[in-house]
Amino acid sequence: MITEDLKDFKRFTPKTLPKEEPLVSGHRACQGCGEVLALRMVAKAIGSPMIAVSATGCMEIISSPYPQTAWAVPWIHVAFENAAAVASGVEAGLKTLMAKGRIPEKKIAVVAFAGDGGTADIGLQSLSGAMERGHDFLYVCLDNEAYMNTGIQRSSATPFGAMTTTSPAGKITAGQTTWKKNLPAIMAAHDVPYVATASPAYYLDLMNKAKKAAMIKGPAYLHVYSPCPTGWRHGTDLAIEVSRLVVETNIFPLFEVIEGKYVVRKNNKPKPVEEYLKQQRRFSHLTPELIQTIQTRVDAEYARLLKMEGMTESTPTKTETKEE
Amino acid sequence: MPIQKGMEVSIAVSEAVKLANVDVISAYPITPQTHIVEHLSELVADGELKAAFIPVESEHSALSAAVGAAAVGARAYTATSSQGLALMHEIMFVASSMRIPLVMTVVNRALSAPINIWNDLSDIMAQRDCGWVQLFAINGQEAVDLTLQAFKIAEDPRVLLPVAVNLDGFVLSHVIEPIELPDQEAVDRFLPVFKPTLRLDPDQPVSMGAFGSPEVFIEVKKQVEEALIGSQKVAAEVWKDFGDIFGRTYKPVESYKAKGAEILLVTMGSITETAMTAVDSMREKGRKVGLIHIRLWRPFPFKEFFQAIREAKCLAVVDRALVPGGVGGPVGLEIKSALFEKKERPYVAEFVAGLGGRDLTVEVFAEMAAKAERYAKTQKEMRYEMIGVREK
């Protein structure tokens, strides 16, 4: 149970951040990339011994141009839609080799990384399968809300109204016409021990969640908001500011689902969504009416999240993790 | 000493996988592969086989998980058929180019549509170019032996490639045959514990599956091709070892009553034994007919093939898959192009037959041999003939 798994869990503080960098500098991410920043934080929080399993995507391309690699920990990439399946094999392989005494018995964190396309679209089946089977691994979705590596095409995680190269702001439709697929809720519905959302602006929160998720036995899911200045058309110095605003507006609330129990980081005085939207040119075509539509939806979603917290408050869990 | 026992070929194959001491099995059910993975899951559930059994949610994930397991140094196995193999297509190429040694049993079944669960070779032939070593069993004993040999070939540091062991769906996989299962002790001598050349090890980190720019891509492909071609030499060594320990010999191309034969049937897989019966009866009637069957399909054993056909005037190639819009079937295509540079070459009569489980009887082989003889006499260009098609 989680309490047992986390008995040695110590929260990071600015002074106790690890020095070790599993993902080193020199990679080829765009200037101001919020995704690689989030990836670095996750990797740093977990540290060695870990095995990273990457889906095809920006982070794979920028970190592994042969003969170079930015990975100081073992890393494998096979294809786009199967990071969770490859991680399943890695985890099962390690477990069996340890049981047979062929490799030393120790906890090795198996961490799969994928973007929102590799998670919410093409990789959803293999992710669902791996979660359901209960492999001891952590799956991290680095969500930059579109297919950025192929040139900013919409995914099912692209937010309503956002302009991408396949959800353009046209004369009839104004950007993405559908609402963002709720991946954390889908993962929570798998009844896995740990699901959380995180944003790189709240770096200690993000790193503590990553550490916790890796320590927990069984499948864990971390959904990390990952600004993409190139695709979102905002200043390359704004990734952190945008990552903070998305939380302050309640567009991307921070929460954990610990053994079915929702724990929400409260924000009862949210900023208007417009403050977030206006910084990014992917939303520049939005009319006041559309902005209001988004505001209404965000308020309703946040209310629903709090309701989930209330509903699951008395969920019998075997854990108390002393979250704020 | 091991004794021959009657058992279902699928069960025998899973017993061979157990004898190979695999560490990880990942599989998704598809007819007619099911009996193999069902029995393996029983062996794991009973603790008779110390391995992880990953009941994945698709064949794409079955192969992906096997790749992940092999990457950490586990001996990995999967099995599939038909649509399942087609779903694995993407990862087939990745596995070979990443030099992942693993073994997969392909229980051959027709590809849809129309959906059909019966046997032909259209599933594996659609994976011809994926860079895997591809072996074909003609009977249950071979299916067992090739499974054990496949691990040894795949894991050889000179090879490091995935190996597919093919056996025909139902007509081989579901029949009961007399099979000799080797002793565990002898298998352990033949096939020691897998020692990976590289593995995902936190103490010695490596990156696997890197991004290859135009400056390196072609070199990687050349290396994979060299390893695949080189695997034939390794297979020969493995077959020598196997023969020494178990007393059964294997060659890339086998001949049956080929000496003095003017017409040679060319087969692959379990139809071979029916074709041998047809050869026997034709020989009794004084006709100079023999047979060769190709056991090692990839890499194609050109030298052994030329050696095996050197006396023949005519080849009757039996293909159980079609290359649509092309010159016939994949085996005929291979053979015709291999012979193109030869000054003296036999006439090649090509037949596409047995698709989707259409029965190939002794009489059909006799018919093909007779037709081949007639075609050869005219020496006319014959692209291919589909056997047994009702036109009306």
Domain membership of residue A322 (yes or no) is no
A107 CB-near residues (< 8 Å, 6+ apart): A49
Q: Which pLDDT belongs to residue A323?
A: 43
Q: What is the CATH number of domain B4-246?
A: 3.40.50.970
- According to DSSP, the β-strands at B385-386 and B347-352 are parallel
Alpha helices in B250-300 (DSSP H): 271-284
Answer whether B64 sits within 8 Å of A79, measured CB to CB: yes
The domains of chain B are located at 4-246, 254-386
- For A193-256, give the DSSP string: SEEEEE-TTSHHHHHHHHHHHHHSSS-EEEEEE---HHHHT--TT-HHHHHHHHHHTTSS--EE
Domain membership of residue A321 (yes or no) is no
- Give yes or no for B29 touching A (CB within 8 A): no
Give whole-number Cα distances, A215 to A7, A113, A117, A136, A210, in Å. Answer: 10, 17, 26, 9, 9
pLDDT for B341-374, tens place per residue? Answer: 999 999 999 999 999 999 999 999 999 999 999 9
Give whole-number Cα distances, B160 to A20, B192, B241, in Å. Answer: 33, 16, 19
- Give yes or no for B56 touching A (CB within 8 A): yes
- Give yes or no for A49 touching B (CB within 8 A): yes
Residues of B in contact with A84 (CB under 8 A): 61
Q: Which pLDDT belongs to residue A240?
A: 98
Q: Do B286 and B255 contact (CB within 8 A), yes or no?
A: no
Residue A119 — φ and ψ, nearest 5°? -105, -55
Residue of A nearest to B204 (CA): A74
Give all strands of the β-sheet with B289-294 in edge-to-edge order. B253-256, B289-294, B263-267, B314-319, B347-352, B385-386
User: Tokens representing B19?
Assistant: 């004898």
Q: What is the count of structural domains for chain A?
A: 1
Tell which A residues from 200 to 229 touch B, by Cβ distance under 8 Å: none
ipTM value:
0.97
User: Can you name the residues that pair with A255 across neighbouring β-strands?
Assistant: A264
Answer whether B213 sits within 8 Å of A97, measured CB to CB: no
Domain membership of residue A320 (yes or no) is no
User: Tokens representing A45?
Assistant: 């929080």
Under DSSP, the state recorded for B121 is: S
Q: Which pLDDT belongs to residue A322?
A: 45
Q: Which pLDDT belongs to residue A316?
A: 60
B353 CB-near residues (< 8 Å, 6+ apart): B318, B319, B320, B360, B364, B368, B386, B387, B388
Domain membership of residue A324 (yes or no) is no
3-state SS, residue A113: strand
Ramachandran region of residue B247, left (φ > 0), alpha (ψ -120 to 50) or beta?
Answer: left
Residues lower than pLDDT 50 in chain B: none
pTM above 0.90, yes or no: yes
Residue corresponding to tokens 């062996």: B43
Q: Do B258 and B292 contact (CB within 8 A), yes or no?
A: yes
Structural domain containing residue A137: 2-312
**CATH 3.30.70.20, domain B254-386, yes or no:** no
Domain membership of residue A206 (yes or no) is yes
Q: How far apart are CA B65 and CA B59, in angstroms?
A: 10
User: Can you name the residues that pair with B76 across neighbouring β-strands?
Assistant: B24
Query: What is the maximum alpha-carbon separation in chain A?
Result: 65
Residue A20 — φ and ψ, nearest 5°? -65, 140
Q: Do B317 and B263 contact (CB within 8 A), yes or no?
A: no
Q: Which pLDDT belongs to residue A319?
A: 47
Residues of B in contact with A139 (CB under 8 A): none
Considering only CB atoms, A64 lies closest to which of B24, B67, B210, namely B210
Q: How far apart are CA B91 and CA A87, in angstroms?
A: 15
Under DSSP, the state recorded for B104 is: E
| Blockwise average pLDDT, block size 10, chain A, 324 residues | 86 95 97 98 98 98 97 98 98 98 97 98 98 98 98 98 97 96 98 98 98 97 98 98 98 97 96 98 98 98 97 68 44
Q: How far apart are CA B76 and CA A89, in angstroms?
A: 9
Q: How far apart are CA A44 and CA A12, in angstroms?
A: 11
Residue corresponding to tokens 């089946």: A125
Considering only CB atoms, A66 lies closest to which of B51, B76, B211, namely B211
Q: Do A37 and A58 contact (CB within 8 A), yes or no?
A: no
Within this chain, domains B4-246 and B254-386 share the same CATH topology: yes
- Give yes or no for B121 touching A (CB within 8 A): no
Q: How far apart are CA A139 and CA A53, in angstroms?
A: 9
Ramachandran region of residue A211, left (φ > 0), alpha (ψ -120 to 50) or beta?
Answer: alpha
Q: Do B88 and A85 contact (CB within 8 A), yes or no?
A: no
Answer whether B23 sits within 8 Å of A100, measured CB to CB: yes
Please give the distance of CA B143 from its chain centroid, rounded to a whole number: 9
User: Tokens representing A298?
Assistant: 């965000």
Residues of B in contact with A60 (CB under 8 A): 211
- Give yes or no for A86 touching B (CB within 8 A): yes
Domain membership of residue A131 (yes or no) is yes
Residue among A46, A64, A76, A107 with most chain B CBs within 10 A, to mutate:
A76
In terms of C-beta density within 10 A (0-12 exposed, 13-18 middle, 19 or more buried), how is residue B285 classed?
A: exposed
Answer whether B51 sits within 8 Å of A96, measured CB to CB: yes
Which CATH number do you get for residue A98? 3.40.50.970
Find the Cα–Cα–Cα–Cα dihedral B17, B23, B25, B26, rounded to 10°: -160
A170 CB-near residues (< 8 Å, 6+ apart): none
Give whole-number Cα distances, A230 to A65, A71, A187, A277, in Å. Answer: 20, 24, 29, 16
CB atoms within 10 A of CB B114: 6
Answer whether A102 sits within 8 Å of B193, measured CB to CB: yes
CB atoms within 10 A of CB B176: 13
Domain membership of residue A142 (yes or no) is yes
